[in-house]
Amino acid sequence: MRTGNFETKLNNIPFGILVGMLVAILASLTIFSFKNTVSLSMFENTDRLILYVPYLKLGAILNLAPFFIFNQFNMLNAQKGVIISTIIMFFFVVVVNYLL
């Protein structure tokens, strides 16, 4: 007995948040690694974290890819999750840029 197809199983907000965060973080780490050497200690102090924020902005822009893929499959709840993850990253960027 089949409970549902691929789109209905993955069409939820937490899945969209997870995909949005992973795409943005992996894309920004990839861009950052081309410019600098990535190490596990790069987040130890806030000076290095401030250096990483512009790359996170570029990674957040790349959230358009999963957003439009979810749009193609009519996965509206997953699209909402991608938007929520982009908003979360926006608040992170604002906090690091202006409050630290």
- Asked whether the beta carbons of 76 and 11 are under 8 A apart, the reply is yes
Q: Give a yes or no: residue 4 inside a domain.
A: no
Summary mean pLDDT of the chain:
82
Q: Give a yes or no: residue 71 inside a domain.
A: yes
Q: Give a yes or no: residue 3 inside a domain.
A: no
For residue 45, the enclosing domain spans 9-99
13-24 pLDDT, tens digit each:
999 999 999 999
Q: Is the pTM of this model over 0.85?
A: no
* Count of structural domains, the chain: 1
Q: Give a yes or no: residue 60 inside a domain.
A: yes
Output the CA–CA distances (angstroms, integers) from residue 57 to 1, 3, 65, 71, 91, in the order listed: 44, 39, 15, 22, 11
